[in-house]
Amino acid sequence: MVNDMYEIDRELDVPLYVQIRDNIVAAMSAGRLKPGDRLPSVCSLAKEIGVTQATIRRALQDLVDAGHTECHVGRGTFIRDASAGCEATACTYTGTLEEIDDESGRNSMRGDMREHAARRLRRSVSKALYDIMPLAHKPGIIAMTKGTPDEKMIPEGFLEELCQLTLERGAARYVQATDPIGLADLREEIARRASRDGSKVTPDMVMITNGVMQAITLVAQHYMESRPEVICETPCFQGVSNSFAAMGHWVETVRRDDNGPMVDQLERFSTQANRLLYLCPYAHNPMGTNLSPDRSAYLVEWARKTGSVLIVDEIFRELQFSGEGHPSLIRQLGGEQTIVVNSLSKSIMSGLRIGWIITSPRRIQELAQLKKLMDHSAPTFMQGMAFSLLRSGKFETHTQQMVECYKRRMNTMLKSLQKMMPAGVRWSQPDGGFSILLELPTGYSSVALLFSAIDMGVSFLPGPLFDID
């Protein structure tokens, strides 16, 4: 017998999914469904009511978009506590976006609600995925999930020697905090290295940050008022898109293939506009491939034509298997249209929280004002350690050892995939870094595969973690 909460009248001139949705909302209002209650599965509801699963999914999607429920991958759909910070328009509105008319200035309301619903959907999917990842790190699991250097590759005594080298320059110089833009010696060294490919980088174009993520967050905060159109290539490290979203930006995506952001995708953004485009040109995370020379040339022309600013993440530049590759995009576009971010987190160790931004002197000064409010400056002694590392020759020696090690590991992985994977599975051919992107045949779920893999004692990062859409 059908629960009266889900009863529908097929004679009514009202879509079935709307009836189901409104019945659930009415049950919430009457207290028959309370915050935290779990709704039956899509399959169960479809059988009980006698409708297709697509009808149930449409009803549940409306409930999520309106803020009445939240979904957790692998767990189900739950009634949401409406008092837990939901905006009024999302919590009280129960119609579909298409049902809002165009009169009385409601066009903007419809757009705002659509964007708000999309934001909520993105956040709920991301949260659900992150919620299941602790399963991938249970004791005994072989975890192929960490995009950080293998700690076993740090030689014995490496940190002690680095500290000693730093203190030999005089301990007193590290007692006080530096200017927000960072230690002058370190900025000069970074500018010198960035100029080796012909780029014109000066110390006043460099600011030291606490890793790349702070650099990205500062950029996102810097553009809060001007509200540019933000575009991220996808797949992409989701921390980048999340940082912009946290600062109130809506993020568009363009697909990336092995050569870089796809031309036909970028053509959607070919007009003059206030835009930021994020990309990872060297040993891309998670594909591992480099931006091709042809695609690089196209991006330069696209940026010039549209007046866009490129955020260029060079965090894997030093970990390429065949040298540093093509010159940085800043060489052709200059600091006004380029914001380069980099750090020592991938090439040395993530615990040495030293990163940097390279862009125009004007933009550096503007970003420095924000950093001064955020944490004033990166730790002075850590900056001194980074300078000692770069000037002593230890950086080149260590990164070369890492490149050789990860190239061997990559070859082992590629041989294993070639031997073990069934037809229809394809994977990238990395030019460096830590990652390989493996694509399943259409219709297969990497999240479902992750659960099966965990049962077998191994874990990986499922694809949706790298695509906000």
Residues 393-442: tens digit of each pLDDT: 999 999 999 999 999 999 999 999 999 999 999 999 999 999 999 999 98
Is the confidence at residue 3, as pLDDT, over 90?
Answer: no
**What confidence tier does 304 reach under pLDDT thresholds 50, 70, 90?**
very high
CA distance 45 to 39: 9
Was domain 152-395 assigned CATH 3.40.640.10? yes
In the predicted model, what is the mean pLDDT of residues 211-225? Answer: 95
Is the confidence at residue 81, as pLDDT, over 60?
Answer: yes
With 0-12 CB in 10 A as exposed, 13-18 as middle and 19+ as buried, what is 403? buried
Q: Which of 93-97, 193-197, 460-464 has the highest mean pLDDT?
A: 193-197
pLDDT higher at 14 or 331: 331
Is the confidence at residue 460, as pLDDT, over 60?
Answer: yes
- Per-domain residue ranges for the chain? 4-131, 152-395
Q: Tens digit of pLDDT for each residue in 247-300?
A: 989 899 999 999 999 999 999 999 988 999 999 999 999 999 999 999 999 999
Beta carbons of 75 and 36 less than 8 angstroms apart: no
Q: Parallel, antiparallel, or unpaired for β 260-261 and 251-257?
A: antiparallel
Is the confidence at residue 89, as pLDDT, over 70?
Answer: no
**What confidence tier does 67 reach under pLDDT thresholds 50, 70, 90?**
confident
Backbone angles phi, psi at 445, to 5 degrees: -105, 125
What is the structure's pLDDT at 151?
A: 86
- Crossing angle (nearest 10°) for helices 446-455 and 106-132: 20
Round to the nearest angstrom and report the end-to-end CA distance of the chain: 39
Backbone angles phi, psi at 368, to 5 degrees: -65, -35
What is the structure's pLDDT at 260?
A: 96
Tell me the CATH number for domain 4-131: 1.10.10.10
What is the structure's pLDDT at 11?
A: 77
pLDDT higher at 301 or 442: 301
**What confidence tier does 324 reach under pLDDT thresholds 50, 70, 90?**
low
**What average pLDDT is seen over the chain?**
87
In the predicted model, what is the mean pLDDT of residues 176-196? Answer: 96
What is the structure's pLDDT at 113?
A: 58
In sequence order, the β-bridge partners of residue 338 are: 310
Is the confidence at residue 211, as pLDDT, over 50?
Answer: yes
Which of 39-48, 108-117, 118-127 is predicted with the least confidence, judged by mean pLDDT?
A: 108-117
Is the confidence at residue 5, as pLDDT, over 80?
Answer: no
Which of 143-147, 184-188, 278-282, 396-400 is predicted with the least confidence, judged by mean pLDDT?
A: 143-147
Q: Tens digit of pLDDT for each residue in 109-121?
A: 445 556 666 666 6
What is the structure's pLDDT at 16?
A: 86
